[in-house]
Amino acid sequence: MSLLTVRDLTVEFPGPRGTVRAVDGLSFALERGRTLGIVGESGSGKSATSLAIMGLHAAARVGGSIELDGTEIVGAGREAVRALRGRRMAMIFQDPMSSLHPNHRVGEQIAETRRLHFGASRRRAREDAVRALADVGVPAPRERARDFPHQFSGGMRQRVMIAMALACEPDLLIADEPTTALDVTVQAQILELIAGVQRDRGLAVVLITHDLGVVARVADDVLVMYAGRSVEKAAVAELFTGPRHPYTRGLLGSLPRLDGPPGAPAPIPGNPPDLLSPPGGCPFHPRCPERIDGCATVRPELTGGAHPAACHLLSAPEEAAP
């Protein structure tokens, strides 16, 4: 059984101008010891997906099913989800201050988690906190445990947040744009840290990012989202060598490449759709350079075995032929 199984997930936000369907029929499974990258532009539904898994969507209507190790999260009571969030799953964000308390020493914050979830004594919890900081590469952890979050650099603060997340010994770690705010060198170090803890602890990791370069570094599998839907799923190497969906090809074309021809990479023209009035047919059709008859009216389904994609070019090759 997979650690995490998501089936036909929908996340809707009712609002004064109508209902936004941020996630629309998403399904995937994740095994222990694997990292799944979820990639898409902002507004593609990737953050809404991660918040639904964490049970953190106060204002949303969530439908479908999310099972963590056999326990259903959709529709579960607040207390039940909070218990899972404490012990089974943890999340890290782009902004570490969203999970760190500014007025508490970082060692105390980690120790508090150990006391709360594991009933550790004060003394034991303090030692756990020092070790947790050492484990994520914070130098002089015994001294730094007494510092406040603002006394750390951006990259070190990110390490502290990861130590906090790991302090509850989760099976599942969700990382939402964990390196987006960091400069390139620090970004590489944090990705290496996440990959390392994933390996050492056998964690399942969901890595949410707009950056396929980040996925290439740490993920085993990739799910590409567009307008709340999964448009392509594949092992990382397959996605990079043989992308099937025009949107994925566009994302790959917009990546800077060291070995590529000189010149700036080309971003995908146009903008993601307004989800209050999404386009009919294939949601990518207004931007798609490869669109064919029917793309504007018929919605493509995700098909294609181990490397599925949702595009009419794949399901109707005779129409796609010149």
Whether the Cβ atoms of residue 151 and residue 157 lie closer than 8 Å to each other: no
Cα dihedral sign for 140, 145, 148, 153? positive
CA distance 292 to 188: 40
Query: Measured in whole angstroms, how far is the alpha carbon of residue 179 from the centre of its chain?
Result: 12
Nearer to ligand SF4, 73 or 223 (CB): 223
Strands 221-226 and 61-68, bridge-based pairing: unpaired
User: Quick one: which of 295, 301, 303, 316 contacts ligand SF4 (CB under 6 A)?
Assistant: 295
Site string for ligand SF4, 195-234 (x = CB under 6 A): ----------------------------------------
Binding span for ligand SF4 by CB under 6 A among 54-62, 180-188, 232-240, 289-297: 289-297
Query: Which residue is closest to Mg ion by CB?
Result: 47
CA distance 107 to 133: 8
- Span 3-62, contacts to ligand SF4 by CB under 6 A: none
**C-alpha pair distances (Å), 248 with each of 115, 161, 233:** 45, 31, 10
67 binds ligand SF4 (CB under 6 A): no
Site string for Mg ion, 272-311 (x = CB under 5 A): ----------------------------------------
Partner touching 311 among ligand SF4, Mg ion, none, CB below 5 to 8 Å by kind: ligand SF4
Binding span for ligand SF4 by CB under 6 A among 134-142, 152-160, 262-270, 307-315: 307-315
Nearer to Mg ion, 46 or 312 (CB): 46
273 binds ligand SF4 (CB under 6 A): no
292 binds ligand SF4 (CB under 6 A): yes
User: Quick one: which of 21, 88, 233, 312 contacts ligand SF4 (CB under 6 A)?
Assistant: 312
Whether the Cβ atoms of residue 104 and residue 129 lie closer than 8 Å to each other: no
User: Quick one: which of 10, 44, 47, 179 contacts Mg ion (CB under 5 A)?
Assistant: 47
Nearer to ligand SF4, 202 or 270 (CB): 270
**C-alpha pair distances (Å), 88 with each of 156, 172, 179, 221:** 25, 6, 23, 22
Helix (H, G, I), strand (E, B) or coil at 315: helix
Count other Cβ atoms within 10 Å, centred on residue 29.
15
246 binds ligand SF4 (CB under 6 A): yes
Nearer to ligand SF4, 99 or 315 (CB): 315
Nearer to ligand SF4, 64 or 294 (CB): 294
49 binds Mg ion (CB under 5 A): no
Three-class HEC string of 174-225: EEECCCCCCCHHHHHHHHHHHHHHHHHHCCEEEEEECCHHHHHHHCCEEEEE
End-to-end CA distance of the chain: 44
For binding to Mg ion (CB under 5 A), which residues are involved? 47
Binding residues (CB under 6 A) for ligand SF4: these are: 245-246, 282, 284-285, 288, 290-292, 295, 300, 311-313
